Structure 1
Amino acid sequence: MFQSFVDTARPEQGPPRLAALRQAMAAEGLAGWLVPRADAHQGEYVAPGDERLAWLTGFTGSAGFCIVLADIAGLFVDGRYGAQARAQVDTGHFTPVDWPATRPAPWLREHLPTGGVVGFDPWLYTPAQIETLENELAGSDITLQPGENLVDRVWPDRPAPPQGPMRVYPEEFAGESHADKRARLAKGLRKAGQAAAVLTLPDSIAWLLNIRGSDIPRNPVPHAFAILHDSGQVTLFADAAKIDDGVRAHLGDEVSIRPPNAFLPGLRTLAGLVRLDKASVPLAVAQQLQEAGVPAAWDDDPCILPKACKTPAEIAATRGAHLRDGAALCEFLAWFDAQPPGSLTEIDVVTRLEAERSATGELLDISFDTIAGSGPHGALAHYRVTESSNRRLVDGDLLVLDGGGQYLDGTTDITRTLPVGRVGAEERAAFTRVLQGMIAVSRVRWPHGLAGRDLDALARYPLWLADQDYAHGTGHGVGVHLCVHEGPQRLSRQGEVPLEPGMIISNEPGYYREGAFGIRIENLLVVTEAAPLEGGDGATQLAFETLSFVPIDRRLIDERMLDPAERTWLDAYHATCAERIAPRLSPGARDWLKAATKPL
Structure 2
Amino acid sequence: MFQSFHETARPEQGPARLADLREVLDRERLDGFLVPRADVHQGEYVAPRDDRLAWLTGFTGSAGFCAALRNVAGVFIDGRYRTQVKAQVDLHHFAPVPWPETSLAAWLRQQLPTGGTVGLDPWLHTVGEIVALEAALAGSGIALRELNNLVDVIWADQPDAPLGLVRVQDIARAGLSHGNKRQTVAADLRRKGEDAAVITLPDSLAWLLNIRGSDIPRNPVAHGFAVVHSDAQVDLFIEAAKLSPEVYAHLGDEVIVHAPEAFVDTLGRLTGTVRLDKNSVPLAVQRALEAGTAQISLGRDPAILPKACKNSVEIAGSREAHLRDGAAMCEFLSWYDAQPVGALREIDLVRQLEGYRTATNALEEISFDTISGTGPNGAVIHYRVTEATNATLQDGHLVVLDSGGQYVDGTTDITRTLPAGTVGAEEKACFTRVLQGMIAISQLRFPRGLSGRDIDGFARAPLWAAGLDYDHGTGHGVGSYLCVHEGPQGISRRNIEVLHPGMILSNEPGYYREGAFGIRIENLIVVTEAPALAGADARPMLQFETLTYVPIDRRLIDADMLSTAERDWINAYHVTCRDKISPRLSDEAALWLAQMTAPL
Provide the TM-score with structure 1 as the length reference: 1.00
Segments of structure 2 that go 5 or more residues without pairing to the other structure are none
Residues 271 and 293 in structure 2, CA contact (< 8 A), matched pair in contact too? no
Question: What's 1:393 paired with?
Answer: 393
Question: What's 2:373 paired with?
Answer: 373
Q: 2 CA distance for matches of 1:293 and 1:160? A: 34
**What's the C-alpha RMSD, in Å, of the aligned pairs?**
0.6
Instruction: Give how far 1:535 is off.
Output: 2.6
Q: 2 CA distance for matches of 1:77 and 1:202? A: 24
The one-letter code of the counterpart of 1:406 is: Q
The one-letter code of the counterpart of 1:425 is: A
Residues 457-515 of structure 1 deviation map (CA, whole Å, 9 limit, x = unaligned): 00000000000000000000000100000011110011111100000000000000000
Written as runs of structure 1 = structure 2, the 5 A alignment for 1:350-429 is: 350-429=350-429
Question: What's 2:129 paired with?
Answer: 129
Q: 1 CA distance for matches of 2:535 and 2:582? A: 37
Residues 263-317 of structure 1 deviation map (CA, whole Å, 9 limit, x = unaligned): 0011111110000000000000000111213211000000000000000000001
Aligned-pair identity (%): 63
Question: What's 1:548 paired with?
Answer: 548
Written as runs of structure 1 = structure 2, the 5 A alignment for 1:495-574 is: 495-574=495-574
Written as runs of structure 1 = structure 2, the 5 A alignment for 1:123-272 is: 123-272=123-272
Written as runs of structure 1 = structure 2, the 5 A alignment for 1:570-589 is: 570-589=570-589
Question: What's 1:30 paired with?
Answer: 30
Instruction: Give how far 1:125 is off.
Output: 0.1
Alignment pair present for 1:63 and 2:33 = no
The one-letter code of the counterpart of 1:417 is: T
Q: 1 CA distance for matches of 2:191 and 2:102? A: 42
Q: 2 CA distance for matches of 1:42 and 1:341? A: 44
Q: 1 CA distance for matches of 2:352 and 2:504? A: 28
Q: 1 CA distance for matches of 2:155 and 2:474? A: 37
Instruction: Give how far 1:537 is off.
Output: 2.3
Provide the TM-score with structure 2 as the length reference: 1.00
Q: 1 CA distance for matches of 2:521 and 2:13? A: 37
Q: 2 CA distance for matches of 1:40 and 1:11? A: 26
The one-letter code of the counterpart of 1:81 is: Y
Q: 2 CA distance for matches of 1:540 and 1:10? A: 53
Residues 558-580 of structure 1 deviation map (CA, whole Å, 9 limit, x = unaligned): 01100000011111100000000
Instruction: Give how far 1:347 is off.
Output: 0.2
Q: 1 CA distance for matches of 2:12 and 2:572? A: 53
Question: What's 1:84 paired with?
Answer: 84
Task: Report how many aligned residue pairs link the two structures.
Answer: 600
Residues 321-365 of structure 1 deviation map (CA, whole Å, 9 limit, x = unaligned): 000000000000000001111000000000000000000000000
Q: 2 CA distance for matches of 1:138 and 1:228? A: 35
Residues 550 and 577 in structure 2, CA contact (< 8 A), matched pair in contact too? yes
Q: 2 CA distance for matches of 1:503 and 1:555? A: 32
Secondary structure at the aligned position of 1:401 is classed as: strand
Q: 1 CA distance for matches of 2:171 and 2:537? A: 40
Alignment pair present for 1:10 and 2:10 = yes
Q: 1 CA distance for matches of 2:83 and 2:537? A: 50
Q: 2 CA distance for matches of 1:79 and 1:274? A: 37
Alignment pair present for 1:300 and 2:300 = yes
Instruction: Give how far 1:536 is off.
Output: 1.9
The one-letter code of the counterpart of 1:410 is: G
Q: 2 CA distance for matches of 1:322 and 1:202? A: 24
Q: 1 CA distance for matches of 2:340 and 2:139? A: 63
Question: What's 2:45 paired with?
Answer: 45
Secondary structure at the aligned position of 1:80 is classed as: helix
Instruction: Give how far 1:45 is off.
Output: 1.5
Question: What's 1:491 paired with?
Answer: 491
The one-letter code of the counterpart of 1:17 is: R
Residues 146-184 of structure 1 deviation map (CA, whole Å, 9 limit, x = unaligned): 111000011111111000000000101111000011011
Alignment pair present for 1:112 and 2:112 = yes
Q: 2 CA distance for matches of 1:27 and 1:114? A: 21
Residues 270 and 293 in structure 2, CA contact (< 8 A), matched pair in contact too? no
Written as runs of structure 1 = structure 2, the 5 A alignment for 1:301-380 is: 301-380=301-380
Q: 1 CA distance for matches of 2:214 and 2:248? A: 17
Q: 2 CA distance for matches of 1:311 and 1:44? A: 24
Secondary structure at the aligned position of 2:83 is classed as: helix
Q: 2 CA distance for matches of 1:581 and 1:133? A: 51
The one-letter code of the counterpart of 2:68 is: V
The one-letter code of the counterpart of 1:281 is: V
Question: What's 1:287 paired with?
Answer: 287
Q: 1 CA distance for matches of 2:42 and 2:426? A: 41
Residues 196 and 228 in structure 2, CA contact (< 8 A), matched pair in contact too? yes
Secondary structure at the aligned position of 1:164 is classed as: coil
Residues 188-225 of structure 1 deviation map (CA, whole Å, 9 limit, x = unaligned): 10111100000000100100000000000000000000
Residues 126 and 281 in structure 2, CA contact (< 8 A), matched pair in contact too? yes
Instruction: Give how far 1:97 is off.
Output: 1.0
Instruction: Give how far 1:539 is off.
Output: 2.3
Q: 2 CA distance for matches of 1:5 and 1:439? A: 34
The one-letter code of the counterpart of 1:440 is: A
The one-letter code of the counterpart of 1:589 is: A
The one-letter code of the counterpart of 1:321 is: A
Secondary structure at the aligned position of 2:291 is classed as: helix
Q: 2 CA distance for matches of 1:537 and 1:449? A: 16
Q: 1 CA distance for matches of 2:77 and 2:497? A: 24
Instruction: Give how far 1:405 is off.
Output: 0.1
Instruction: Give how far 1:232 is off.
Output: 0.3
Question: What's 1:465 paired with?
Answer: 465
The one-letter code of the counterpart of 2:537 is: D
Q: 1 CA distance for matches of 2:596 and 2:136? A: 54
Segments of structure 1 that go 5 or more residues without pairing to the other structure are none
The range that moved more, 584-593 or 57-66, is 57-66
Residues 376 and 518 in structure 2, CA contact (< 8 A), matched pair in contact too? yes
Residues 438-472 of structure 1 deviation map (CA, whole Å, 9 limit, x = unaligned): 00000000111000000000000000000000000
Secondary structure at the aligned position of 1:292 is classed as: coil
Question: What's 1:593 paired with?
Answer: 593
The one-letter code of the counterpart of 1:301 is: D
The one-letter code of the counterpart of 1:110 is: Q
Q: 1 CA distance for matches of 2:461 and 2:83? A: 26
Q: 2 CA distance for matches of 1:65 and 1:577? A: 42
Secondary structure at the aligned position of 2:162 is classed as: coil
Q: 2 CA distance for matches of 1:120 and 1:537? A: 54
